[in-house]
Structure 1
Amino acid sequence: MTDNLLDPLGDAAALSESGAKKNYAKVGSARPSSLLYNYGPGAIMDLPQFTVMPAGLDDWDRIWARRDGIPRIHAPRLQAAVRTLMGTDRTELRPFPWQAKKTFMSSEGNDLGVPSRVFPQWLRCTGCDFLAPIPRFSYRNTHPYRTDEACFEHHNCPGRAEERVSRDKTPNRKRPTRTAVPARYLLACVDGHLDEFPYDAWVHHWQKCSKDSHPRLKMLDRTSGKGASATILCASCGQKRPMNEAQGEVGRSKLPGCRGRHPHLDSFDPAGCGNETQLMLVGASNLWFASTQAIIVMPESQARDEEVADQLRIDLQDGQELDTDAELLEWLTENGDQPKLLRVSLGKRPSTAFSDAELAAAVKVLLAPPPPESERKRRKENWDPIELLIPEWRYLQKDPLGRQHDGSDADKSGLVLSRRELDPQLPKHFSRVLAAEKLRKVNALIGFTRIDDMDRVDDLPKRLVPVTRAEKPMWTVATEDFGEGIFLQLDESWVRAWEARVKKSDIWAAHEAAHRLNFERRFSETAKNVDHLDRLPKPRYWLVHTLAHVLIREMAMTSGYSAASLSERLYAWEEGSDRPAAAGLLICTTAADSDGTLGGLVQLSEPARLQKIVKDALHRAERCSSDPVCAMRTPKAPEDFLHGAACHCCAMASETSCERANRFLDRRFLIDLPGNNLGFFSRA
């Protein structure tokens, strides 16, 4: 473990004070949604001239320390889920450290940003192929408003052979300065560790160079960067070794074992790592998979006592400078039963708006002993993502009191609903339509994985890489998205009868068999006592999921939004002891860096428009340009794909729209296709 400080602004200021040429700290920018889902802590972000890795959340605390207060995102239900999954008693949700500028040239927010490390730290000169770590190059970032010009440079570059011949003809010609770019090879393991590729040891076959203790390396690549096409050359001793020897199963046997490195935390796993490593490219799509949880904030989904307790804790810590939980508990034990003293201590902070009874209940919550570790572990092991959806479904079953009803807590939930009448020509299978004029979606980062996403049967808890060095993190990063949507609910009696019929069909038996194969091929110790059917969504989920996709495609043509900007939220499960049956979907569009959206999606919820969209979507689902192959697609052993009559020509959507990576889709469950009569909407 190491404790190296990461302070980009401090480093830039120190360089300036030492008389060195000004190098600014800012090297790029990204949208909040991009930083959450694509380039969070531990990911590699491409900049114009080099790549950086956002640091772990420990290093973000120095950024927030520049401000008097730290903003929090209010979403108690999501916060409770985050605490369960991260194994903590309290975890705050904080936004990205950012502040809007009044003008392009103003300086507001210059002291905020996401701290990042340059990674990988081996660079290659574009002029002479010189391969070396960062200290062998110089860094330039001298323009305050042109972060795209930040780069690493190789001074006095000798150039390649043909350039040297040309330069010899003009003896007085100076050697040029060339840009250095990242050497694109890395080592990764299935438990999320990432490391630099050992070029020096690789080219010398894990021996030392026979000619030089610090050999001069080159990376020769003339094929436009296709795969592991480069060759590493030691200019000191003349040895060469191609990188393609490190590819594939055979290549893994030639690579070193994993050292357990987490570069975003600037640390190594104290328990070590015994896994094999595999070659990974810097721009590989499987280098980083975010593990996130999200909710649509509903007014009645918030636990009042927990909400007041969280706000009281924040206000007391800010006002009384109580930095640790122990200090807070000690202060509350001595003063928590004195309402007047409590209000004096709070000053003018938000908690003073609560009544004495609410504050007393909040103090009781804060002083309550935390659940035992065994209980916390049990909750985490038995946690079901549906727990986040059930409160939303229950609230959506209630009729708004009027048009654009904003609930009882709209200032915090941000939800504004309107009931829509059902058009007489709308299929009778629909029982309810709501227009979400405004909604707020909150997304939180839990951790991440590498090589494979967490949505696999053979997942081990250790595969989820933490975003902080702390065993029990005090906060995690989250985003607030504001937008609009349409909620459609299917009639439960229709769904129940249709589902019973589908479960007896040969098509459903084929899907079950394919899922079993998929399950067994990813079998591990974590799945020994798991029935594969527990992981297979019920037919109603396939129905609702496929319906959402064909509606997204149709709505994109008339809403003014692209299909990739529309997303689904599915409510589809059978009745259980702790939940009512659900069959509905919310199609929404949200933005994390604006106050809302344009309203084009909500307009489609008007009865006549919605009826036409549903009719056209189902009509288009009858035909696919890949038919009859698509229409007849049913998995048969040894196939284990998790979809039926669905492809990118008819029912599949972009990865930003689909919550299940285009699995569990089948047009035959929507409408009758040749050879089957299972269409839900074919029997009106």
Structure 2
Amino acid sequence: MTDTAPNEVMLHDPSEALDPLTDAEDAVVKNRAKVGSSRPSSLLYTYGPGAIMDLPGFSVMPAGLDDWDPIWKRREHIPTIIEPRLLNVVRMHLGNQVDALRPYPWQPKQNAYAKDGADLGIPARVFPQWFRCTGCDYLGPLPRFSYTNTHPFRPDLAQFTHKSCPGRGAQRAGAKSGRRESPAVAAQHLLTCTNGHVDEFPYELWVHRGRPCPKAQRPDLKMRDANLGKSVGSMIACTSCGATRGMAEAQGSVGRDKLPQICRGRHPHLNAFDKECGARPALIMMGASNLWFASTQSIIVMPRTDAEKAEALGDRLRVELGVEQVKKFAGQLEVIRALAGARNMDMTTVSDDALLAAIADVLVPPESEEQRKQKLDTWDPIELLIPEWQYLQKPALFPTQKNTSGLMVTDMPRGPALPANISRVVAVNQMKKVNAFLGFTRLDEMDRVNDLPSRLVKLTRNGRPTWVPATEDRGEGIFLQLRLDEVEAWENTVSNTPLWKAHQAANRRNFARRFSETAKAVDPDTRLPAPRYWLLHTLSHVLIREMAMSCGYGAASLTERIYGWPASAHREGAAGLLICTTASDSEGTLGGLVALSDPVRLQGLVISALRRAGRCSSDPVCAMRTPSDPEDFLHGAACHCCTFASETSCEKANRFLDRRFLLTLPSADGKPVPGFFGSPDVQ
């Protein structure tokens, strides 16, 4: 969280009646005061709707898209991101009713004292809504605490306090008598289930073992640390009847049997409950990494064909004018132009033929739900990469391109010392990447189970959003392509080696042993990328580590995009990688990365990266690491010392990496796997 971050986070609309046990705040909290800020990329991948954002004084959960609409209505014109290729993928996942990609509600300020955009922000609710007093260990719901947020320029000072705090133990001699005001912090324990619900932990029922307190109807509770005694974690105590119980009992599979057996189906981000859930809740801590997994799709914006231009204009007409209005005046182009001009659409460069094609696109009947679901069942995420790969194979188009898409690329000469099996180098001088947020899951990431769209937690109360949040990132990069014929020959050789068979077996064990209630019958072999992907992925990681020392960007700022799939009846094979850096809240980056595409600099960088990959400080353990039963890790000769990259850089969470595919390394049996680049001492 930074003061300069563009997107503000504000508490929920004060007009709603709220209750702290069912997703509600006390009257003193019902305001639109700013409580924090976040970068667009954080709101997309880390703190989106349904996630828990930890603020200095408490935690909030960004609300669902229903609550964003009143924020957008404060502006006459709602901005949209027009990118038909990505919008079609979003519609395939969420339904044909989705008609727009919208940026986050934010407006730039003219100066530090301006109030531009002060009424815009991301609506959020306080969650969790059980707090613990830091002065006396009192544990209770949100209405028992007081809220303060009075400084307009210091949202970090917003906090909840316990005004009647008596302190711990007896008053010390000479200390002032009376009660004091102590800050309160959110209680860390929550309940969640595989259907994406999350709820407060039932502390009162827990400490009384599912029964009411015999001494009071609503007893006061205490939460004390018990890490010095026999148990680890917090101890819950009832001040009325003296009952105590440790939170350590709720952990693990044994503890899960002591929790409520039926999930209440609560969605705090929607202020709603599902009627039926059917899943068993499990204990989870507020900061757990598996509490929220974003599901996103992204594309690099490419120069559009005439059909894509018509579709883009059609999408904008659909958003700005509506289908009914376009249909009503379909034969009157001047009226359509006038209506579009009134909505701030520049139609001066649009020909009548192009406008007619866009109108025709708007009037095409949407596909049925059965057709959409059938298309989704057979959809492969690689389809988003194919247009990018195909464009990069046509260097003759690069000099004639018009920079209307935000993409500028240059086919670079190869350095004389660059390894011969790297066939092409392309400098990506400028690029624009559009990312769309589809939803989220809890406990299990989509890629880690079966990718069923029904697992996505809904973003609106009716489950059918008409728009989704999106970001536009601008930056630069370098594209490297390997010789396809050499990759195919190497891949055929490696596919028959004991090492590849060991990786296949480990992948099968990984699927079979995964603790996941959402896992379905999936053929594990269909989820294992081909050896060429392992090769490209490992090469990408060693280059990221090397480039970070020369380009001026940290390794965590560099990301990869792997184009690696075998040829099939539906598409040609690919073997390339793009290393790029982008920013979502600026006009681009500074050119330090693309400068490395200079032939002399790049060849030295690649040779140095391969030499470093040939040796690891953990060798020979790392170089000979091969999974064998019962091991089920999804990497080979790779570790933090040589190959692993940061979470923000890797598209596969540091899986599918092995230096032995990159270089020929010694093996325990004396039969090394032939590396694509040969000996580690690359010249």
Corresponding residue to 2:634 among 642, 647, 650: 642
How far apart, in 2, do the equivalents of 1:560 and 1:525 lie?
43
Report the AA paired with residue 212 of structure 2.
Answer: K
Report the AA paired with residue 267 of structure 1.
Answer: A
How far apart, in 1, do the equivalents of 2:555 and 2:124 lie?
33
CA contact (8 A) 2:166 2:178 kept: no
Structure 1 spans left out of the alignment, 5+ residues: 1-5, 318-327
TM-aligned CA deviation for residue 360 of structure 1: 1.8
How far apart, in 2, do the equivalents of 1:224 and 1:42 lie?
35
Report the AA paired with residue 69 of structure 1.
Answer: H
TM-aligned CA deviation for residue 516 of structure 1: 1.8
How far apart, in 1, do the equivalents of 2:79 and 2:273 lie?
31
CA contact (8 A) 1:421 1:433 kept: yes
Corresponding residue to 1:303 among 308, 316, 322: 308
Corresponding residue to 2:210 among 206, 216, 232: 206
CA contact (8 A) 1:93 1:475 kept: yes
The 3-state SS of whatever aligns with 2:143 is helix
The 3-state SS of whatever aligns with 2:165 is coil
How far apart, in 2, do the equivalents of 1:406 and 1:103 lie?
40
TM-aligned CA deviation for residue 677 of structure 1: 4.0
2:427 is equivalent to residue 435 of structure 1: yes
2:274 is equivalent to residue 281 of structure 1: no
CA contact (8 A) 1:488 1:584 kept: yes
The 3-state SS of whatever aligns with 1:201 is helix
22 and 258 in structure 1: CA distance in 2 versus 1, 3 angstrom threshold: closer
CA contact (8 A) 2:298 2:436 kept: yes
Equivalence map 1:1-12=2 (5 Å): 8=11, 11=14
1:320 matched residue in structure 2: none
510 and 483 in structure 1: CA distance in 2 versus 1, 3 angstrom threshold: same
Deviates more, 1:456-465 or 1:53-62: 456-465
Corresponding residue to 1:352 among 347, 356, 367: 347
How far apart, in 1, do the equivalents of 2:61 and 2:68 lie?
13
TM-aligned CA deviation for residue 460 of structure 1: 4.4
CA RMSD of the aligned region, Å? 2.5
2:69 matched residue in structure 1: 61
Equivalence map 1:326-475=2 (5 Å): 328-329=323-324, 331-348=325-342, 349-350=344-345, 352-353=347-348, 354-399=350-395, 405=399, 407-408=401-402, 410-411=403-404, 413-458=405-450, 460-475=452-467
State the Cα deviation string for residues 621-649 of structure 1 (Å, max 9, x = none): 11011110111111111211111111111
Equivalence map 1:149-228=2 (5 Å): 149-162=157-170, 164-166=171-173, 169=174, 173-221=177-225, 223=227
194 and 369 in structure 1: CA distance in 2 versus 1, 3 angstrom threshold: same
How far apart, in 1, do the equivalents of 2:339 and 2:113 lie?
40
Equivalence map 1:494-509=2 (5 Å): 494-509=486-501
Deviates more, 1:295-304 or 1:40-49: 295-304
The 3-state SS of whatever aligns with 1:27 is strand
Report the AA paired with residue 347 of structure 1.
Answer: G
1:71 matched residue in structure 2: 79
TM-aligned CA deviation for residue 222 of structure 1: 5.4
How far apart, in 1, do the equivalents of 2:577 and 2:245 lie?
55
2:3 matched residue in structure 1: none
TM-aligned CA deviation for residue 343 of structure 1: 2.2
CA contact (8 A) 2:29 2:147 kept: no
CA contact (8 A) 2:645 2:654 kept: yes
1:322 matched residue in structure 2: none
How far apart, in 2, do the equivalents of 1:531 and 1:208 lie?
48
CA contact (8 A) 1:311 1:351 kept: no
TM-aligned CA deviation for residue 346 of structure 1: 2.6
TM-aligned CA deviation for residue 58 of structure 1: 0.9
303 and 457 in structure 1: CA distance in 2 versus 1, 3 angstrom threshold: same
Give identity over the alignment, percent: 57
Corresponding residue to 1:261 among 255, 261, 266: 266
The 3-state SS of whatever aligns with 2:446 is coil
231 and 54 in structure 1: CA distance in 2 versus 1, 3 angstrom threshold: same
How far apart, in 1, do the equivalents of 2:590 and 2:198 lie?
42
Report the TM-score when normalising by structure 1: 0.91
1:314 matched residue in structure 2: 319
State the Cα deviation string for residues 285-318 of structure 1 (Å, max 9, x = none): 111111111111111377122111111123324x
CA contact (8 A) 1:24 1:144 kept: no
How far apart, in 2, do the equivalents of 1:224 and 1:27 lie?
36
How far apart, in 2, do the equivalents of 1:633 and 1:157 lie?
57
TM-aligned CA deviation for residue 224 of structure 1: 10
Deviates more, 1:175-184 or 1:296-305: 296-305
How far apart, in 2, do the equivalents of 1:289 and 1:226 lie?
35
What is the number of equivalent residue pairs in this alignment?
Answer: 654
State the Cα deviation string for residues 156-205 of structure 1 (Å, max 9, x = none): 2111114x344xx556x442111111011100111111000011111111
TM-aligned CA deviation for residue 345 of structure 1: 2.6
CA contact (8 A) 1:43 1:288 kept: yes
Report the AA paired with residue 222 of structure 2.
Answer: K
How far apart, in 2, do the equivalents of 1:598 and 1:536 lie?
37
1:552 matched residue in structure 2: 544
Corresponding residue to 2:469 among 458, 472, 477: 477
Deviates more, 1:344-353 or 1:381-390: 344-353
State the Cα deviation string for residues 36-79 of structure 1 (Å, max 9, x = none): 11110000000001000000011001100001111111221111
State the Cα deviation string for residues 559-598 of structure 1 (Å, max 9, x = none): 1111111010000011122221100000001111111111
Deviates more, 1:55-64 or 1:224-233: 224-233
525 and 125 in structure 1: CA distance in 2 versus 1, 3 angstrom threshold: closer
Deviates more, 1:124-133 or 1:339-348: 339-348
The 3-state SS of whatever aligns with 1:623 is coil
How far apart, in 1, do the equivalents of 2:160 and 2:507 lie?
50
How far apart, in 1, do the equivalents of 2:555 and 2:168 lie?
48
Corresponding residue to 1:247 among 231, 246, 251: 251
Report the TM-score when normalising by structure 2: 0.91
State the Cα deviation string for residues 66-96 of structure 1 (Å, max 9, x = none): 0111111122111111111112243311111
2:6 matched residue in structure 1: none
Structure 2 spans left out of the alignment, 5+ residues: 1-8, 18-26
